[in-house]
Structure 1
Amino acid sequence: MERIEDNIIELLEYLEELIENSPKVPITGKTIIDKKEFLEVIDQIINTLPDQLKKAEWVMNEKDRILQDAQKEYDNIRRETLELMKKNVENHDIVKEAKVRANEIIALAQRDAKAIRLGSREYSTEILSQIDREIEEKRAMLIKSMQEAFEIAAKEIDKNLSDTGSRIKENIAELRDM
């Protein structure tokens, strides 16, 4: 899982570098970005995330399969117990023993099914929460990076406009002195 996280982080850092190193449009403060390259990196990120979701889905499907197997085993044991009880109705001790054994098996199967259900739910919740946290962190980092880039561009524009204004004032002063 750490390898996937590292891959996503690397891709997001690469996007950040693309933004920072892309040529700037004078006056507007906008950046020219290679759309094709940018979209390819986003596609790589999108294609990486579903693997985690597929793992969570596999866990849920595996839980369902185990529950179904437990239910089938429960049904088979119950059916076998009923058949045994019908054959040995006269022998009361065997019927009692079969009921006790069947109840033990049912209780065991129900306990195991509950534990599996809870474990798979917790695991799925943990994975999805972790993915959500990672996406939120990367989003915040990307927004911060973009804000910093915009602030730098705004400062450059302000400086350029101030310098231009100063030169215009100097030219006006020269014209007046002529």
Structure 2
Amino acid sequence: MLQPSSISAHESNQNGKNPTPREYVKVIPPDRNQPLSTAGVDIQQELNRLEDIILSSMRIPLTGRTLVDEDKLLEQLDFIRLSLPAVFQESLDILAQKDEILLEAEEYGQQVVDVAQAKRAQILAESDIIRQAQREADQLRRQVQQDCEAMMQETIAEVERKRRACQQELEEMRQTAIAQAQEIEDGADKYADHVLGNMEQDIQEMLQIITNGRKQLRGDNPQRTANNSHNSKKSFPKSTTK
């Protein structure tokens, strides 16, 4: 990269002095047909390195001067000089790609927006489904509550009808039992009256037989009749007729 010029190191320049370092250096420009090997060089870092070369060199006391390694310094300067076109070209390439980068960024942003809108639509759809399910659940709950209330009212009415029917049936059974008891009582009275009537008739017939027998006995033998009558009075006390 650094090459000596055609002037010899022992030759003098036009002023008769030793040639300056720049007269020994000839910069060979880079071949534009070849790819730059210095692409992506950090110029700030290379300048800092150049500064380090100067600051790290030995100082001459009481003079404020510094002894610098000329080859190292020129090599670093040459490297920076050759790197600048590559950096400029990289900047130009970046500027040329600006529209493409902006387009890609815009497309990416649009994709992000589309994804966000799709997610929003999905969330809204899910929210609509949840609200619809909530409405259906509320409607079903109200319907079940109404059905339960209707069934409860119907059950209460049915129980009331059963209660009244049971009361009516019990009342009919009570009236029937009373009527049957009265009928049984009347039948018992009639039966007792009939039995007593038969007994009365039998007794009357027996009394008639007894009376006729006594008459016959009194008509055949008056003395015997009198004795029998006297004995009968002793044997049978006189009954009191009410």
TM-score range, shorter chain: 0.3 to 0.5
Query: Of the two structures, which has the highest relative contact order with CA contacts closer than 8 Å and spacing of 6 or more?
Result: 1
Bigger helix share? 1
Answer with 1 or 2: which has the greater Rg: 2
Query: Structure 2-normalised TM-score?
Result: 0.33
